[in-house]
């Protein structure tokens, strides 16, 4: 059942899957030859957006006359000027009816206006679009747009927003509930079985992806069609969003993804700008570009997390979990097209990698007057993990056992797995954890980073008080419904691969080529992976939710195999031999019948099926496959951290970090390791530094990178990663998703280590962790000479 | 994030810069002219449209103001001396080790390569390192204008409040005279920032003069980010008798930070951070002074 051991180099005749072949995209991306959205802007006029300065207000008037007369201005447009079929972008995810029935899931329709004309819902919401000859003149002219707002009270607290007497933020809805879910199973627990019950309130701050490259959209009209280049993870859903809003036919819109400098979920969303820019390109006839700047990004791009969990965990004398209850709230801001995904993810992942017989969960999402949200890396999983893992640490402390011990007693082992939960997944299929041995991950991470590391690091850092923490997580990966993969023989005998799963810099060009080369039995150099383009694959979903390797990888694998199959038949026909005599080689096909030998290259086959060739009638060798997984496949892992708390300031440094991770087959082990390490870095940001803050009137105060603090290289230690692969039968590659794994357990793990460092004098129950209380505790320890 | 429109002038000499500044002040009292030095504060504010000068006078090409002169008891630094030069120039580092340490804490290398001493002082950010270092060193700042000529301002009198100095709109900061480190003097500079390269949440600089017998002869210490300007906090009356210990510094630091009213969200926390930075800076300074004495002996 174990996945084959990873190989660093690729030997002749060996599969490429499992090998750390160097990333082919890196040369281009690292030496400055990447082509990002802004690199395509030459010749286009600039679109600039006037964004709401009010958190919640009625728009009394918009006067664009002065702005229209400013130098360089081509036009100024409000929502009334856009010829839209529908003035909002629809939800991007609806759970399966089976899941809805089992969980009472409900959500209202969201109708946040593409460019609002009567009411604004958050600071940063685009209100007016202006086309100018360049960005400088455009920004000058924006200052001449006169808008009168009548402020309304800003709702910033999700509990207040859901209070029975709260005024609805969105006039078409009766209240501010954006979603709800209830999960309950297991028998009541006898009171005398319970040794300890811990209750807690855990807050996960409002964090965001903040990728290196912001968003951006370029639109060009070409006869009846509009081509849209956008920095997105989900080109086909963007196309759908544009078509639904404009009424244009799917055939009239092409969406192309250039090089993308990071997405992490914030670009797995459809945005107003992605509709407005092509609409204005049609209206004006000009090529138009909008490149988001960092200030816009920090108020206008989708954010995440921002949850509050009220928990109750009961364990028996041995520390075995008897009952787990959580009542959680999500603040989705003015809207979130993935609210169903995040609410359901949170609930499902609250079940953790443990045996928990009795569960009661209730979750509600609230609209507030903050920036919109989407699925930020982990999307409910890190929040669920924080609540559950923190509760376990608390219970362990009360029982007088270690955090490691309480997990050891509850983690699912080889004897328990596969493990069914009495609940369907979002796709309606009953949840079954298809893992190997979760306890092994905990043992393994402690080998990498044993608790005794504390003593060594304490000696090295006299100014710090040192602690050790652990955290475990579970992750559903590779969600459907489908993904596309296309493999095509080019006219020169190479292969082009395309998929709906767009790359945001991960390594799609490398790993998809590995998968295709194995399926084709050809050498890797023959394969080129194209960037996503709705003209290359007509259907697709996108890259998010740790799904690309699983779904796109599987689709590409099948397309490659099918192409090989077709090609073998054609080669046999060309050679005039029976197909079973034809063998594929690294460069094409060979056949032998004892007396003679023949060879035919992929280039020969390409010539044969081109016009004038012997197989012209058969058409090109070009296969599109859609892979529909039956359901998700589960990744599990354990994290360990050693942190130091500065005795004078309470500042937390993460000194050492380790992850042991039960994924599946690794297509490219180094790429997986990179994903895990990057995830840990992002997790450390959330645990210690990052927070979108708002003033009491709803003004965002984290509007530059001097206020929204991202972790730098000095804030992230070396991360040791151990992969304990267990191949899954759920897909032809045996892979499990790994894109979000690294980030999920970080806040919980760091929090545990901080408490350990401070001898349990503080309870860490929120992220980012506040240093003030830590400083007080560190001082107390010093005074008492502990 | 594009600046509002502005006119741009590039000065070829100090005299020309002064003329440009004077002319615009004279021509239109409301017109707003700003000196552009390294641009590491000003251009950011302009891109955010928080600063909207009508005109910039770029002094970046004035090589004369990039020079430094070494006197017996002091070093004279041109307004355009870069943070990176203060940090890495070995000769300056020997004469002004506190300044070198302070400069090394500013932002990141790319910022230190461009940012200038004159720019940092004129910008007068209460959390900035160099204004504090100049204050502790009792530096003297030279300014000049086309109409009122030259004058000097003591570092203590230079900052009026947050982002505001006692310079006039048509004055150019030209030189800074910094008394150099003396024998028996040790320095300390400690700051706490959320991440390396960030502006400090709290920071302390000090010069501690130690007599040959190990007793403390004089202390001059100050804090950044503790008020609307860098603050001198040492009180000459607070003598340290005998050989100081760890507790001595803790006690002094607690005493000298007791009345701070920092302008932050959590003043109590900031006060604690100031205290911790100060006590560590004092201990470091004393240790360095002693080490120097031992090496000299
Ligand atoms: C990311 C980042 C991080 C930073 N971190 C820090 C930090 O940790 N600590 C810190 O101290 N600074 C920091 N800075 C600011 C940096 O030190 C600046 O270089 C400095 O504040 C201004 O110097 P400058 O030469 O760039 O001046 P400019 O930006 O060109 O000018 C600043 C102001 O001073 C005026 N001015 C400049 N020179 C003169 C002169 N000779 N006479 C009269 N007026 C003049 C200008 O008109 C303007 O008002 C940071 C900057 C950035 C971008």
Chain B contact present for A709, CB below 8 A: yes
CA–CA dist A300, A310 (Å, integer)? 30
Kindly report the average pLDDT of chain B as a whole number: 95
Nearest to A704 by CA among B50, B253, B141: B50
Per-residue model confidence (pLDDT) at position A9: 63
Inter-chain Cβ pairs, chain A and chain B, closer than 8 A: 52
Residues A690, A565, single domain; the answer is no
Kindly list the residues from chain B whose CB atom is less than 8 angstroms away from the CB atom of residue A298.
none
Do A431 and A540 belong together in one domain? no
Separation between Cα atoms, residue A751 and residue A753, nearest integer Å: 5
Query: A704–B48: do the CB atoms touch at under 8 Å?
Result: yes
**Neighboring chain B residues of A715 at a CB cutoff of 8 Å:** 195
- Complete domains list, chain B, with CATH: 7-58 (3.30.43.10), 67-179 (3.30.465.10), 185-296 (3.30.390.50)
A482 pLDDT above the threshold of 80: yes
CB proximity under 8 Å: A 651-680 to B: 651
Question: Which domain, by its residues, includes A552?
Answer: 26-34+480-627
Using an 8 Å CB-CB cutoff, list chain A residues near B193: none
Task: From chain B, pick out residues whose CB is under 8 angstroms from the CB of A706.
Answer: 198-199
Cα A201 to Cα A303: distance, rounded to the nearest angstrom = 22
pLDDT at B238: 78
Distance B128 CA to ligand 1 centre (A): 9
Distance from CA of A774 to the nearest CA of B (A): 11
Query: How far, in Å, CA of B252 to CA of B279, rounded?
Result: 7
Instruction: Using an 8 Å CB-CB cutoff, list chain B residues near A704.
Output: 48
B107 interface with A at CB cutoff 8 Å: no
Nearest CA in chain A to B192: A649
Q: In whole angstroms, what is the distance from residue A407 CA to residue A392 CA?
A: 8
pLDDT greater than 90 at residue B239 = no
Identify the residue whose C-alpha is closest to ligand 1 atom 4. B107
Q: What is the mean pLDDT of residues A474-478?
A: 96
Question: Token pair for residue A626?
Answer: 């859609």
Query: Taking CA atoms, what residue in B is nearest to A138?
Result: B2
Distance CA A747, CA A376 (A): 15
In this structure, chain B runs to a length of: 297
The CB-side HSE value for B128 (13 A sphere, CA atoms) comes to: 26
Q: Average pLDDT over chain A, rounded to whole?
A: 96
Same domain, A473 and A526: no
Residues A404 and A524 placed together within one structural domain of the fold: no
Of A258, A225, A223, nearest in space to A242 by CA? A225
Position B162 scores a pLDDT of: 95
Structural domain includes residue A549: yes
Tell me if B192 and A651 make a contact (CB, 8 A cut-off): yes
Q: Which residue in chain A has the smallest CA separation from B48?
A: A295
Would the CB atoms of B269 and A772 count as touching at under 8 Å?
yes
What is the Å distance from ligand 1's center to B129 Cα?
11
Same domain, A499 and A608: yes
Domain assignment present for A615: yes
Domain for residue A374, yes or no? no
Most confidently modeled of A593-597, A634-638, B193-197?
A: A634-638
Give the residue from chain A lying closest to B203, CA to CA.
A649
Q: Which of A240, A275, A300 is the last residue of a domain?
A: A300
* pLDDT of res. B226: 95
Residue contact B272–A775, C-beta within 8 A: yes
pLDDT at B27: 66
CA pair distance A498, A533, nearest whole angstrom: 8
CB contact under 8 A, B1 and A294: yes
Query: DSSP of A438-502, one letter per residue?
Result: HHHHHHHHHHHS-TTHHHHHHHH-TTEEEEEEEEEEEEEE---S-EEEEEEE-TTS-EEEEESS-
Interchain proximity A140–B5, CB inside 8 Å:
yes
User: Do A547 and A445 sit in the same domain of this protein?
Assistant: no
* Residue A743, token pair as written in the block: 């980030």
pLDDT at A5 over 80: no
CATH number of the CATH domain containing A232: 3.90.1170.50
Same domain, A757 and A667: yes
B5 at A interface, C-beta within 8 A: yes
- C-beta atoms of B276 and A648 within 8 A: yes
- Which one of A557, A592, A627 terminates a domain? A627
Q: Which pLDDT score, from 0 to 100, does residue B25 have?
A: 66
Interface residue A707 vs chain B (CB under 8 A): no
Q: Using one digit for the tens of pLDDT, what is the confidence trace for A659-670? A: 999 999 999 999
CB A105 within 8 A of CB A178: no
Q: Is A771 in contact with B192 (Cβ distance < 8 A)?
A: no
Q: Are residues A491 and A408 in the same domain?
A: no
pLDDT at B28: 63
Strands (E), A663-748: 719-723
pLDDT of residue A408: 98
Please identify among residues 313-342 of chain A the ones whose CB lies closer than 8 Å to any CB of chain B.
none
8 A C-beta contact, residue A386 and residue A354: no
Averaged pLDDT, A557-572: 97
Interface residue B6 vs chain A (CB under 8 A): no
> Residue A620 class from Cβ within 10 Å (0-12 exposed, 13-18 middle, 19+ buried)?
middle
Q: Among B2, B266, B276, select the one facing A649 at the smallest CB separation.
A: B276
More confidently predicted of A10 and A504: A504
Number of domains making up chain A: 3
**pTM of the predicted model, to two decimals?**
0.96
Contact B266 A772 (CB under 8 A): yes
In a domain, A316, yes or no: no
CB A372, CB A91: distance < 8 Å: no
**Would residue A361 count as lying in a domain?**
no
Distance CA A425, CA B214 (A): 73
Dump pLDDT digits (tens) for A174-189.
999 999 999 999 999 9
Nearest alpha carbon, ligand 1 atom 36: B119
User: What letters, b where the CB count within 10 A reaches 16 and e where it falls short, cover A271-282?
Assistant: bbbbbbbbbbbb
- Residue A142 in any domain: the answer is yes
Residue B204 Cα, gap to closest chain A Cα (Å): 13
State how far the Cα of B120 lies from the Cα of B84, in Å rounded to an integer. Answer: 13
**A689: chain B residues, CB-CB within 8 Å:** 194-195
Pocket test for ligand 1, best of B3, B25, B32, B41 (most atoms within 8 A of CB): B41
Own/partner pairs, A595-601, CB within 8 angstroms, 24+ separation: A600/A571, A600/A574, A600/A575, A601/A493
Q: Are residues A710 and A604 in the same domain?
A: no
Going by alpha carbons, the residue nearest to atom 49 of ligand 1 is B123
Instruction: Report whether pLDDT(B13) > 90.
Output: yes
Looking at the predicted structure, is the pLDDT value of residue A1 above 80? no
What per-residue confidence (pLDDT) applies to B297? 78
Kindly determine whether residue A704 and residue B269, on different chains, have CB atoms separated by under 8 Å. no
Instruction: Please indicate, yes or no, whether residues A614 and A652 belong to a single structural domain of this protein.
Output: no
Contact B2 A771 (CB under 8 A): no
Which residues on adjacent β-strands are paired with residue A365?
A: A179, A330
Q: What is the pLDDT of residues A118-134, one digit of tens each?
A: 999 999 999 999 999 99
**Is pLDDT above 80 for A161?**
yes
Answer yes or no: do A706 and B276 touch at CB < 8 A: no
User: pLDDT (tens digit, 9 = 90+) per residue, A375-403?
Assistant: 999 999 999 999 999 999 999 999 999 99
Q: What digits encode the pLDDT tens for the residues A255-283? A: 999 999 999 999 999 999 999 999 999 99
Q: Is the pLDDT of residue A6 over 60?
A: no
Q: Which positions in chain B touch A772 (Cβ < 8 Å)?
A: 266, 268-269
Of A139, A651, A715, the CB nearest to B2: A139
pLDDT (tens digit per residue) in A712-759: 999 999 999 999 999 999 999 999 999 999 999 999 999 999 999 999
Calculate what percentage of chain A has a pLDDT beyond 90: 95
Q: Distance between CA atoms of A158 and A107, rounded to whole angstroms?
A: 16
Ligand 1 pocket (Cβ < 6 Å) reads: B 34-42, 44, 79, 106-107, 111, 115-116, 118-120, 122-123, 125, 128-129, 172-173, 199
Ligand 1 mean position to A41 CA, how many Å? 32
Statement to judge: residues A129 and A243 lie in one domain: yes
Atom of ligand 1 nearest to the CA of B79: 41
Looking at the complex, does the CB of residue A38 fall below 8 Å from at least one CB of chain B? Answer: no
Tell me the best of B10, B35, B162 to mutate to test the pocket of ligand 1, counting ligand atoms within 8 Å of each CB and taking the most. B35
**pLDDT at site B30:** 65
CA distance B291 to chain A (A): 21
Asked which of A627, A653, A688 is the last residue of a domain, the reply is A627
| CATH number reported for the structural domain that contains residue A506 in this entry | 3.30.365.10
Asked if residue A10 has pLDDT above 80, the reply is no
> What Å distances lie between residue A404 and A264, A267, A401, CA to CA?
31, 37, 8
| Res A13 pLDDT > 80 | no
Task: Kindly state the tokens that stand for A189.
Answer: 């627990």
Residue A165 falls inside a structural domain: no
Share of chain B above pLDDT 70, in %: 98
The answer as to whether A62 is a domain residue is yes
pLDDT in tens, B102-142: 999 999 999 999 999 999 999 999 999 999 999 999 999 99
Average pLDDT over residues A609-618: 96
What pLDDT score was predicted for residue B266? 87
Strands B231-232, B216-224: pairing is: antiparallel
Q: Is the pLDDT of residue B29 over 70?
A: no
Does A449 share its domain with A572?
no
């Amino acid at each position: 059942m174990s996945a084959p051991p990873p190989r660093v180099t690729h030997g002749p005749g060996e599969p490429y899957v499992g090998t750390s072949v160097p990333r082919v995209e890196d040369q281009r991306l690292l030496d400055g030859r990447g082509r990002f959205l802004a690199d395509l802007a030459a010749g286009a006029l600039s679109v600039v957006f006037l964004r709401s300065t009010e958190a919640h207000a009625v728009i009394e008037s918009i006067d664009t006359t002065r702005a229209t007369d400013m130098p360089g201005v081509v036009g100024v447009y409000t929502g009334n000027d856009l010829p839209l079929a529908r003035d909002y972008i629809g939800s991007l995810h609806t759970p399966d009816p089976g899941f809805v029935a089992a969980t009472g899931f409900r959500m209202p329709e969201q109708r946040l206006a593409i460019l609002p004309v009567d009411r604004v819902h958050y600071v940063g919401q685009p209100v007016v679009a202006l086309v100018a000859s360049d960005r400088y003149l455009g920004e000058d002219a924006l200052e001449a747009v006169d808008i009168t707002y009548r402020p309304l009270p800003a709702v910033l607290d999700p509990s207040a927003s859901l209070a029975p007497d709260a005024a609805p933020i969105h006039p078409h809805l009766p209240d501010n509930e954006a979603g709800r879910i209830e999960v309950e199973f297991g028998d009541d627990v006898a009171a005398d079985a319970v040794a300890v019950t811990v209750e807690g309130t855990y807050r996960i701050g409002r964090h965001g992806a903040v990728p290196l490259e912001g968003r951006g959209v370029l639109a060009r009209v070409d006869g009846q069609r509009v081509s849209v280049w956008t920095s997105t993870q989900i080109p086909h859903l963007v196309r759908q969003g544009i078509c639904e809003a404009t009424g244009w036919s799917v055939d009239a819109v092409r969406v192309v993804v250039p090089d993308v400098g990071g997405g992490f979920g914030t670009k797995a969303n459809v945005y107003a700008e992605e509709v407005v820019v092509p609409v204005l390109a049609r209206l004006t006839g000009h090529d138009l570009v909008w490149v988001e700047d960092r200030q816009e990004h920090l108020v206008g791009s989708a954010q995440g997390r921002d949850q509050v969990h009220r928990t109750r965990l009961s364990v028996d004398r041995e520390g075995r979990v008897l009952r787990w209850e959580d009542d959680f709230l999500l603040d989705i801001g003015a809207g979130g097209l993935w609210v169903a995904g995040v609410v359901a993810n949170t609930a499902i992942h609250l079940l953790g990698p443990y045996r928990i017989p009795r569960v009661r969960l209730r979750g509600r999402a609230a609209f507030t007057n903050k920036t919109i949200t989407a699925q930020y890396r982990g999307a409910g999983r890190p929040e669920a993990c924080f609540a559950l893992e923190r509760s376990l640490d608390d219970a362990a402390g009360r029982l007088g056992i270690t955090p490691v011990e309480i997990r050891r007693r509850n983690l699912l082992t080889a004897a328990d797995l596969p493990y069914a939960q009495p609940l369907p997944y979002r796709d309606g299929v009953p949840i079954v954890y298809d893992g190997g041995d979760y306890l092994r991950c905990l043992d393994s991470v402690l080998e990498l980073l044993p608790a005794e590391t504390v003593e060594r690091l304490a000696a090295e850092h006299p100014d710090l008080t040192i602690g050790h923490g652990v955290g475990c997580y579970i992750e559903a990966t590779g969600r459907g419904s489908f993904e596309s993969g296309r493999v095509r023989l080019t006219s020169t005998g190479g292969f082009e691969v395309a998929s709906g799963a767009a790359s945001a810099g991960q390594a799609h060009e490398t790993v998809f080529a590995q998968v295709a080369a194995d399926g084709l039995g050809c050498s890797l150099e023959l394969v080129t992976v194209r960037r996503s383009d709705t003209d290359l694959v007509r259907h697709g979903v996108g890259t998010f939710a740790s799904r690309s390797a699983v779904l796109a990888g599987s689709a590409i694998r099948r397309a490659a195999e099918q192409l090989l199959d077709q090609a073998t038949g054609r080669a046999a026909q060309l050679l005039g031999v029976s197909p079973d005599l034809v063998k594929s080689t690294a460069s094409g096909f060979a056949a032998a019948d004892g007396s003679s030998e023949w060879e035919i290259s992929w280039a020969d086959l390409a010539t044969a099926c081109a016009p004038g060739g012997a197989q012209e009638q058969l058409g090109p060798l070009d296969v599109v496959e859609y892979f529909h997984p039956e359901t998700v496949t589960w990744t599990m892992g354990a994290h360990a951290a050693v942190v130091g708390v500065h005795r004078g300031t309470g500042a937390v440094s993460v000194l050492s970090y380790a992850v042991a991770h039960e994924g599946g087959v690794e297509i490219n082990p180094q790429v997986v390791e990179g994903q895990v390490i990057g995830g840990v870095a992002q997790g450390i940001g959330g645990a210690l530094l990052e927070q979108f803050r708002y003033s009491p009137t709803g003004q965002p105060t984290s509007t530059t990178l001097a206020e929204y603090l991202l972790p730098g290289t000095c804030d992230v230690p070396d991360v040791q990663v151990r992969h304990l692969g267990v191949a899954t039968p759920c897909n032809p590659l045996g892979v499990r998703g790994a894109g979000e794994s690294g980030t999920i357990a970080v806040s919980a793990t760091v929090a545990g280590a901080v408490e350990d460092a401070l001898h349990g004098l503080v309870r860490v129950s929120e992220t980012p962790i506040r240093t003030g209380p830590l400083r007080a505790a560190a001082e107390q320890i010093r005074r008492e000479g502990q | 994030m594009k600046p509002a429109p502005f006119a741009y002038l590039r000065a070829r000499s100090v005299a020309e810069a002064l003329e440009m500044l004077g002319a615009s002040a004279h021509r239109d009292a409301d017109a707003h002219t700003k000196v552009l030095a390294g641009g590491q504060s000003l251009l950011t504010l302009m891109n955010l449209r928080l600063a909207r000068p009508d005109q910039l006078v770029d002094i970046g090409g004035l090589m004369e103001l990039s020079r430094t002169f070494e006197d017996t008891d002091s070093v004279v630094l041109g307004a355009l001396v870069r943070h990176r030069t203060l940090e890495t120039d070995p000769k300056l580092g020997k004469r002004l080790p506190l300044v070198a340490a302070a400069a090394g804490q500013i932002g990141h290398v790319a910022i230190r390569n461009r940012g200038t001493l004159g720019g940092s002082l004129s910008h007068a950010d209460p959390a900035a390192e160099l204004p504090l270092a100049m204050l502790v060193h009792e530096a003297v700042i030279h300014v000049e204008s086309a109409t009122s000529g030259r004058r000097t301002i003591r570092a203590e009198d230079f900052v009026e409040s947050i982002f505001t100095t006692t310079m006039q709109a048509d004055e150019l900061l030209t030189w800074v005279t910094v008394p150099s480190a003396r024998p028996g003097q040790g320095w300390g500079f400690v700051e706490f920032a959320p991440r390396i390269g960030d502006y400090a949440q709290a920071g302390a600089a000090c010069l501690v003069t130690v007599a040959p017998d190990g007793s403390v002869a004089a202390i001059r210490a100050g804090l950044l980010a503790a008020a609307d300007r860098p603050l001198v906090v040492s009180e000459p009356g607070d003598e340290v008798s005998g050989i100081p210990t760890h507790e001595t510094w803790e006690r002094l630091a607690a005493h000298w930070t007791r009345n701070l009213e920092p302008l932050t969200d959590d003043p109590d926390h900031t006060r604690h951070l100031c205290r911790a930075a100060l006590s560590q800076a004092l201990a470091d300074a004393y240790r360095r002074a002693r080490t120097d004495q031992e090496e000299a002996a």
